[in-house]
Amino acid sequence: MPHALVLGAGIMGLSAAWGLSRAGWSVTVVEQDDLPNPRGASVDEHRLIRHAYGAQRGYMRMVDEAYAAWELLWADLGARHYVPTGVLALGDAAGGWLAESRAALSGDGHDFTDLDAAELESRFPMLRAAGVGDAFHMTRGGVLLARPVVAALAAHLARRGVTFRPARAREADPARAALVLEDGTTLGADLLVIAAGPWAPRFLPALEGRVTASRQIVVYLEAPAAQRAAWAAAPMLLDLSAAGGFYAVPPVAGTALKIGDHRFSLHGDPDGPREATPEEAEAILALAWPRLRGADGYRVLGARACFYDVEPQERFLLEPLGDRALVMSGFSGHGFKFGPLLGLAVGSEERRRRAAWAAGAEGVAPFMEPSHGSA
């Protein structure tokens, strides 16, 4: 039985282990922190899945494949850590990302509904339409419950016989498919998968400049009583503006309302503290307050930092490193939705030929048969 060594137990590392295990490999996962890793880019309350992708038609089309991969994972886990919410996209002017999304969605037959200001406030009374120049709603899309997903996947892999090695790696040797741990131990395998998130450039100097660690702040809120029912039934919100915009995740499955920043900070040390400063939290909330009705009544429950591994064009790296290693990186805050799909690709014989597909290139053959279910 061939043996694979996976560095990192976030959604990408665990998904790679899942795909390889399903394909008949024995797998060892090396992770420096607890599972789920509280410092991992993929461990938070939520991650989003939606078809609207601006002009990036390759990724829009991969979303159907991603739904199919999630269906396989839900079957393996015996549970669905997903809440369908739909998607509401807003812009402060016509054109740009919303217009590009419309063109791509229409071209592939995806349904959406355009909204004017009156319709927006009528359907979503927790929002103010002032300053909104464009809006559309999609019924398909939803919230992946990230922390339960990662925890359940790790437990499932352990039951499948995947070995978890709690250790901090010091050096990666792609040519030998090996890792050197901090205590000097060397681990070797037939295949090495480096899925170390924002830490990846430390092991692969060639990634410097291609992948940048980016400290991102999210803020958790409690809505005022008058707005809670509207938020409980709300779609995910993507608000794109000249100022950079924000996203909002409704309070699903016992989680809090969350506000995050679309912009990348492109700085920070992933080994540094994860507490957000009041100034960092207020900078995010300043983007959202003008859009929220009764903004003075919202209560801040907390704020924290996570780290993305950002590629300049937000294109994923699923690339061979010689004949015996592979890197998964550059997921730029939008990779979680594709985790199981990319994991299945790593477990396939096509893994070394999938770089262009993973980078969202148009015209590339899909990896698997898309699903049109609800996921």
pLDDT of amino acid 43 = 73
What is the chain's mean pLDDT, rounded? 94
Q: How large is the average pLDDT for residues 122-137?
A: 96
Alpha-carbon torsion angle 57, 63, 65, 71, nearest 10: -170
Checking if the pLDDT of 320 tops 90, the result is yes
pLDDT of amino acid 370 = 67
Q: For residue 288, give both structure tokens.
A: 């959202």
* CATH superfamily membership of 87-139+212-310: D-Amino Acid Oxidase, subunit A, domain 2 (3.30.9.10)
For residue 180, the cross-strand partners are: 171, 186
Q: How large is the average pLDDT for residues 138-162?
A: 97
With vertex at residue 204, the alpha carbon angle to CA 201 and CA 210, rounded to the nearest 5 degrees, is 55
Please tell me the distance from the alpha carbon of residue 350 to that of residue 326, in angstroms, as a whole number. 12
pLDDT of amino acid 242 = 72
pLDDT of amino acid 94 = 87
Checking if the pLDDT of 246 tops 50, the result is yes
For residue 239, give the H/E element and its range: strand 236-240
Q: How large is the average pLDDT for residues 355-362?
A: 96
pLDDT of amino acid 42 = 64
* CATH superfamily membership of 1-84+145-210+312-375: FAD/NAD(P)-binding domain (3.50.50.60)
Domain layout of the chain by residue ranges: 1-84+145-210+312-375, 87-139+212-310
Q: How large is the average pLDDT for residues 265-279?
A: 92
pTM over 0.85: yes
% the chain with pLDDT above 70:
98
pLDDT of amino acid 369 = 75
Q: pLDDT category, 149, cuts 50, 70, 90?
A: very high
pLDDT digits (tens, 9 = 90+) for 170-185: 999 999 999 999 999 9
Q: For residue 175, give both structure tokens.
A: 């040519």
For residue 332, give the H/E element and its range: none
pLDDT of amino acid 35 = 83
Q: pLDDT category, 83, cuts 50, 70, 90?
A: very high
> Do 1-84+145-210+312-375 and 87-139+212-310 agree at the fold level?
no
Q: pLDDT category, 374, cuts 50, 70, 90?
A: very low
Q: pLDDT category, 34, cuts 50, 70, 90?
A: confident
